[in-house]
Amino acid sequence: MEVPRIFARLLLTAPGWIRTGLGGDDGPYTVEESIPLIVDVPLSHLDNKGLAYLDRFGEPVPWCPEKPLCAAPL
């Protein structure tokens, strides 16, 4: 019996330091400034498959010491 391969996608977004009651007054962006940046990231990756952890600018966030494991498609 052959098991079909499932192509899934999971996109994690790190919003970064945002000027809020929790983040404090020194954050580089307000909530209003950061929301469009955060929303643009998944919209620009709709066709990508696999796992990605990106910051609010769409750049990869280093998170996994096991490079072959992290690079493997789901």
Where are the domains positioned within the chain? 9-71
In angstroms, the CA 48 to CA 12 distance is 13
Query: In angstroms, how far is CA 14 from the centroid of its own chain?
Result: 6
Interval 1-23: pLDDT, tens: 776 766 678 889 999 999 999 88
pLDDT at 74 over 50: no
In angstroms, the CA 14 to CA 41 distance is 10
pTM beyond cutoff 0.85? no
